Chain A
Amino acid sequence: MSTATHDTNREAPAKPTTTVGKAADYLDQRTSIGVAVKEFARKIFPDHWSFMLGEIALFSFVVLIASGFFLAMFFEPSMALETYEGEHPANMHGQLMSVAFASTLEMSFEVRGGLLMRQIHHWAALIFMASIVVHMMRVFFTGAFRKPREINWIVGIVLMILGLAAGFTGYSLPDDVLSGNGLRITDGVIKSIPVIGSFLSYFVFGGEFPGHHIVPRLFTLHIFVIPGILLALIALHLFLMVLQKHTQFPGGGRTDKNVVGYPALPVYVAKMTGNFFIVAGVLVLMGATMAINNVWNYGPYDPSPVSAGAQPDWYMLFLEGSLRLMPGAGTEWVILGYTLPLNVLVPAVVIPGILFTFLIVYPFVEARVKGDDKEHHVLDRPRNVPVRTGLGVAFLAAFIILALAGSNDLIATHFALSINAITWVFRVLFFVGPVFAYYITKRICLGLQRKDRELVLHGHESGRIVRYANGEYIEVHTPLDDQERWLRVNYEAPAPLEIAPKTDARGVKRKGYGADKRWQGLSRFFYEDRVAPVTPAEVAHSHGEHDEPNGHDQLNGSERQAVEAGVGTTSREH
C-alpha cells in the first residue's frame, strides 16, 4: 500500500485558476478540508422556531465572551483597599473600597462605553440562562432527550449548571454589598454541610469570611476555568448535535430514518448569522436603555449593611425562595454534640439536589418504563405523552413557586399583602402546586388527544346544515387532508410494561421479580391512561356516519371506548 499506487489510482484535480480556488487548493492540499466541506456544506437541518432557542443561548454566550473581554481590560480583581478619588458618582467619592469595586466604578463612569458593556454583559448573562432554560423545556416537552440523545441531554444539564456557576462567580466580582451578602449566604450554606462544612468555608475564602482572597479566586474561575469548560462542552454539545443530526417535528415524510429541511449553505448559514446579529442587537439595546446592577447604588462590600430586595439574579432565585420557605422551628438537630442545620441543608442542598436529579435521570427512567430501545428522531407532540408533559409542568411549577417565594418581599409591597401570609401560602403551594399542575396538564393533554381523534374520525365542522328527505338535519363535516390527519395519527400510545410471572414453569421463584414489579408499577403510572391513535379501520367505520340518515352514534361511541382502552377496534371485533 504505497502512496504511489494510492495517488495513481486517483484522478488529479484540475489546476485552480481563480484566487479563491487557489486559496482553497492550498488549504485542501494541507488539510483535506474538501471532505469536510463536502460533508457539511449542504447538510440538511430541519426548521422550526423552537430550534432557535439553543441558538439564542449560544449567541448570548458569544456576546458574553466579547463583552467580557472588554470588561477584563479594565477590571482589577484585587481586594486591596483604597479610597476612591473619582468625582463620580458623587455618592462614592472618598469612600474606602476594594480595588475591584473602584475599577468597576471607573470602567462605568470614565471608560466610554464601559457602562454599556457592563450592562450588555449582565443582560447577556440573564438571557443566556433564560434561553438555556427555555431550550431545555423545548427538549423535554418534545422528547428530544430520547435515544440517542441522552448523553447530549446530560451535557446540556452540565452546561446549565456551569452557566449558574459562571453567573454566580461573575455577579460577585464587583465586591459590592448586594453580591457580598450573596457570598455571605453562600458561606452560611457551605458551613451547614456536615463534617467538612467549616473547612470548606476556609477552603473557599482562604480563611474566615470574607478575607481578601475571594474576588481573585472568583475571577480566575469566572474568566478562565468555567468559560473554558463551558466552551469545551458547548463544542461537544454541538458536535453531538451535528453527528446525530437534528431532531424534527412530526409531519408528512418525516421519519426516524430521514431528516427533512433546508441545506446548511446558504439558508442555515444566513439564518444563523442573522440570528446571531439579532441576539447581539437585542442585548445591546437592553444594555443601552435599561440599567442593570448599578453597583454604586449598593456601595462597596461592608459586612454590616444590607438592603431591602436583597436577592440573587433570577436563575438563583429558586434557591433563595427555598431558603425563605423552610420553617426554622425544630429543624436544627444536634447529634452527639454535632450540629446539623436542616433548615439550611434541606432547602439549599437537598431540594436543588432533587430537582437536578429528576432532570438527569428522567430520560433513563422513561426509556425503562416504556421498554424502549429505538432511536427517535421525530419529536413528540407534548399532548401525545401526557404524563411526561404533566411531570414537566409540575417541575416548572415547583421552580416558579420557589422563584416567586424568593421574591416574596416584592410581592408583598406591590400587591399590598402580608409577607408572612405569602410565605405560608407558598409553603403550602410548594407541595400542592406541582401535584395540581401535573393533574391538570395531564387531563388537558388527554383532552387534546381526544379532540384529535374526533377530528380524524369526523372531520372539521363545516357549518353547512343539510336536511334529508326524512326530515333529519345533519351538519356536514369536511374530512381532514392527508397531512393534517397524519399529524394527528402518527404517534404511539404504548401500554404499560408486561413482566414475566413470579414463578417459572416449575414453580421456582424468579430472581428480580420484585424490581420488575416496581418498574411495572411506575410504567402503569406513565402509560395507564392513554388515547390510542385512530386506525384507518375506525375511520372507514365512522365514514358516512353523517351521510346515513340512521346515524350510528351509539355504536361508534362504544367502539371508541374500545379503542381508547388501547385494545383497538380490530382486535375487539375479531
Chain B
Amino acid sequence: MSENQNENQNDLGDTSADVTVPPETGTAVGSVERFQDPGVPEHKKRLTDTDPRAAKRAERTVTLLFVLSILGTIGSIVAYVMVPPDGTTAGVRLSTLLLGLGLAVSLLGIGIAGIHWAKALMGDHEYVQERHTLATQAEDREAAVNDLNEGLADSGVVGRRGMLKGAFFGSLALFPLAIAVPLIGSVGGDWNISKFKHTMWKRGMRLAIDPSGRPIKATDVTVGSVFHVVPETTEAFRETHEWITEKSKAVVLMVRLNPEDLLTDQSPEGEDWSYEGIVAYSKICTHVGCPVALYEQQTHHLLCPCHQSTFDIADSAKVVFGPANRRLPQLPITVDSEGYLVAQHDFAEPIGPSFWERLK
C-alpha cells in the first residue's frame, strides 16, 4: 500500500511538471461527480433538556458561582481594609496577593457562571442564516456611479478649470507644512549630529570610579581587576541630565593585564595609550550601543550581555565573536603628577554604534 503511494508521488511530479490537468476534467470531478452535502447534523438534546433535575442542578451551580463572585468582591474589600501594605517586600506581596485573589474570584465567578448558563440552560439549537454576496447589486452600483458623476459635474472641476484644480490640490498639500516646519525645527533639539563624534573626555581629565566618583590612582589598579570608569566631575554636575547624556558616551572599562599578556593596543606609532598594562576602552558596544561590561579575567575577553559581541582586551579590543564589526575605541591614558590616572585626550574615533556620517 505504502509503496503504491510512493509511486503515486513520483508520478505526480513527472506528469504535472510539463502537463497541467485539463480544466474540463477538473470541473467534471468538481461538479458532477461530487458527494452531496448531507445537511446540518441532527440536533442532539442535552441532559439539561431532557432531565429537569439536571437543569435544576445547573441552575444551582450558576447561582452558586455568582454568589462566589460576590464573596470574592467582599474578600477583596476586606483585604484592602485589613491588610494594608507596610511597604516591605513581604507586606506588598501579601497585599497584592489578597487584593488580586479577591478580584480574580469575583471575575472568574461571573465568567464561569455565564458560560455554564449559556451552555447548559440557554437554547442550543443551531440556526442557518443566508449570506448575501458582498458586492452591491448592479443597479445600485450604477446609481452610485451616477451620483458620483453628478456630484463631480456640479462641482465644476471636471475638465476645463486646470488652474483651479492645481490651486486646490496645491493648497491642500502645502498647508501641513505650516505645522510640520516648526515641529521638525524643534523636535530634534539643535539637530547638531556632530555631537556623536565627541565625548567629554579631555586632556588631563581624571578617571573616576562609577558610581562613587572617586578618582583612581594607577597603583589602585591591580592585575586582574576591572574598573567601571567615568570622567571626574563635580557632584552637582552628576545630578543633571547633561551628565546622563555625556556619561552615555563617556563610560569606559579599565583593566590591568600582566604586561606580558598585553599583546597590543590601539596606540599609533610613537605613542603609548596604555599605562603599565592598564588599558581603558569605551564601554559602549560598536554594535548597537549596549554597555559591554562582562569581563572574563582569565581569557581577557569582554562580552556584551545584550548580543554577545566579544572583544579581546589583550589584543586591541578586536572583535572575536558576535555581531559587532569594529573594535572598541581606546581611551588614551597616562598618570598625572599625583599618580592619578588621566586621559591623554578624547577617543580618536566616534564611540558606539555605526552611523552614516561616522567617518565624514
Contacts and interface: CB of A to CB of B under 8 A. Distances in A.
B112 A274 contact: yes
Contacts of B305: 306-310, 409
Interface string A61-84: 000000000000000000101000
Interface stretch (B120-128, B143-151, B155-163): B120-128
A contact residues, range: 35 or more
Given A184-B290, A568-B33, A486 B38 contact: yes
Contacts of B195: 208
Given A304-B210, A328-B322, A267 B122 contact: yes
A277 B87 contact: no
Contact of B29 (A281, A287, A532): A532
Given A115-B96, A119-B96, A258-B129, A185 B103 contact: no
A306 B293 contact: yes
B104 A285 contact: yes
Contact of B289 (A188, A485, A489, A532): A188
A305 B241 CA distance: 17
A251 B41 contact: yes
Given A211-B245, A332-B325, A304 B101 contact: no
A270 B115 CA distance: 7
| Best-buried of B105, B291, B354 by chain A (most CB within 10 Å) | B354
Contact of B85 (A109, A211, A485): A109
Contacts of A551: none
Contacts of A339: 354-359
B29 A568 contact: yes
A324 B323 contact: yes
B8 A253 contact: no
User: Number of contact residues on B: which range applies?
Assistant: 35 or more
Contact of A570 (B7, B13, B29, B134): B29
A210 B244 contact: yes
Contact of A209 (B13, B245, B322, B360): B245
A259 B40 CA distance: 11
Contacts of A329: 319, 325
Interface stretch (A27-35, A154-162, A341-349): A341-349
Interface string A208-239: 11111100000000000000000000000000
A479 interface: no
Interface string A463-504: 000000000000000000011011001101011111000000
Contacts of B215: none
B50 interface: no
A416 interface: no
B126 A261 contact: yes
A184 B245 CA distance: 12
B130 interface: yes
Contacts of B249: 208
Interface string B177-206: 000000010011111010110000000000
A188 B353 contact: yes
A115 B92 contact: yes
B33 to A, nearest CB: 4
A338 B360 CA distance: 7
Contacts of B321: 420, 423
14 contacts: A116-B96, A202-B189, A207-B190, A274-B110, A278-B108, A280-B107, A281-B106, A303-B251, A304-B291, A328-B319, A329-B319, A331-B325, A485-B35, A570-B33
Interface of B: 1, 4-5, 7-9, 11-13, 15-17, 20-21, 23, 25-26, 28-30, 32-35, 37-41, 80, 84-85, 87-89, 92, 95-97, 99-101, 103-108, 110-115, 117-119, 122-131, 133-134, 184, 187-191, 193, 195-196, 210-211, 228, 230, 239-241, 244-245, 247-249, 251, 283, 285, 287-291, 293-294, 305-309, 319, 321-326, 352-360
Given A320-B307, A495-B20, 6 more contacts: A89-B89, A211-B189, A258-B130, A285-B101, A529-B12, A535-B29
